[in-house]
Amino acid sequence: MTNRRQFLQFASASAASLSMAPLFAADAGEAPFKISLAEWSLHRTLRDASKGLTNLDFPRVTKEEFGIDAVEYVNQFFKDKANDQKYLGELKTRCDDLGVKSLLIMCDGEGNLGDPDDAKRTKAVENHYRWVDAAKFLGCHSIRVNASSSGSYEEQMKLAADGLRRLSEYAKPQGLNVIVENHGGLSSNGAWLAGTIAKTEMDNCGTLPDFGNFYLSRGKEPKMYDRYKGVEELMPFAKAVSAKSHDFDEDGNEVHTDYFKMMEIVLRHGYHGYVGIEYEGGKVSEYEGIKLTKALLERVAAKLAKA
């Protein structure tokens, strides 16, 4: 099924009431989704040399400190190692020894895949090739990229779709997906990003819906896109999901996102893969924030498994 067909199916289905749609069930006896850890949850710790934590330690900390066996890397924490087979081999060995799965690499700082300048857009596409290769070596299923562009709504869709399609064509023979996160600007407009993914017409090009990254613009009066609507629009193309968290109330609920409501949307689309914890708050430590997010996801899973 091409992305265009997926998008047309979603567009027609969106007219139906969400409350009438049944919740898809996982296999009997299984949790409705699995939990992974996004490396960005530990970005302050990783950037603090005094903590002594590096990207190579990330799988161990994930398993030993949080009891999680799947990881999502961020390329900036091993930016110069994408082509370093010795380094990647050590990282893979550590994961294998711990029984930790490498799921994806979040890629930033490699240029705008929707750049209006053809040469710059081509350079951005080619800059990502090494991360596709690294992800393949580590056993990941995807690289996460951004859909940055400029111009009108339609121009940005055309340009971003072109860059994403070309990168997806490189990744497809290796069995890798290219997935886009709502990450600011028009990419945080769920309808725009869904339309852009559909326009690539590549079945290995999809989305990574993030619960919290729906800032259309920032500043004194930030403009937000409705997060529940956005996730609903992105889920037909989702190949991963990011559970963004910032702050928690005394009952352990995330105060900005209703996780129960959000995960109902996720599961309604038949998604039962990994949901990645991405803690970005500052009121508690990164370690505590990760644990609070995991506990919340586990409560959600227990409740929705009975639905």
- How much of the chain is helix, strand and coil, in % rounded to 5? 50, 15, 35
**The pLDDT of residue 13 is above 50:** no
**pLDDT over threshold 70, residue 32:** yes
Overall average pLDDT of the 251-264 stretch: 98
What mean pLDDT is predicted for residues 105-120? 98
Q: What is the mean pLDDT of the chain?
A: 92
pLDDT over 50 at 256, yes or no: yes
Other CB atoms within 10 A of residue 174 CB:
12
Q: Which residues of 275-299 are buried (b: 16+ CB within 10 A; e: fewer)?
A: bbbbbbbeeeebeebbbbbbebbee
- Please identify which residue in the block is written with the tokens 């508690």: 284
**14: pLDDT strictly greater than 50:** no
257 pLDDT more than 60: yes
The residue with greater pLDDT, 24 or 285, is 285
In the Cβ-directed half-sphere of 248, how many Cα atoms lie within 13 Å?
Answer: 24
**Contact assessment for residue 40 and residue 106, using Cβ atoms and an 8 Å cutoff:** yes
Kindly indicate the confidence band of residue 29, based on its pLDDT and cuts at 50, 70 and 90: low
Q: What percent of the chain has pLDDT over 90?
A: 86
Domains within the chain, CATH numbers bracketed: 30-305 (3.20.20.150)
Q: Give the C-alpha separation, 304 to 216, whole Å.
A: 31
Span 15-28, pLDDT tens digits: 433 333 444 455 55
The pLDDT assigned to 106 comes to: 98
What pLDDT, in 10s, does the model give residues 188-226?
999 999 999 999 999 999 999 999 999 998 888 889 999
Phi and psi of 180, rounded to 5°? -115, 135
Average pLDDT over residues 153-166: 98
Query: Mind listing the pLDDT tens digit for each residue in 46-78?
Result: 999 999 999 999 999 999 999 999 999 999 999
